[in-house]
Amino acid sequence: KFVRKVQLYDGVKIEQSKARKEELILTGNDVDAVSQSAASIQQATRVRRKDIRKFLDGVYVSHKGVIDTE
């Protein structure tokens, strides 16, 4: 396993989900900055030199939306 480091854009916060071990939650006010940070993470974790039909791991968007703070 390799440790991968990704530079996040200004105003983007990342946290690990408490419900799922392998889930990251990116939050921020700027939609473009959050999207670019997610794209950077996806590029860094891409499977290389393997048959991608067998390795279905990757970064997937599970939910987009506004977080209600009530």
Render pLDDT for 5-45 as a digit per residue (tens, 0 to 9): 899 999 999 999 888 888 888 889 888 999 899 889 888 88
pLDDT at 1 over 80: no
Comparing C-alpha atoms, which of 2, 4, 3, 28 is closest to residue 14? Answer: 28
| pLDDT for 9 | 92
Measure the CA angle with vertex 30, ends 32 and 2; round to 5°: 65
Q: Which pLDDT tens digit goes with each residue over 46-61?
A: 777 877 777 666 666 7
Comparing C-alpha atoms, which of 20, 59, 25, 67 is closest to residue 42? Answer: 59
Measure the CA angle with vertex 22, ends 20 and 26; round to 5°: 90
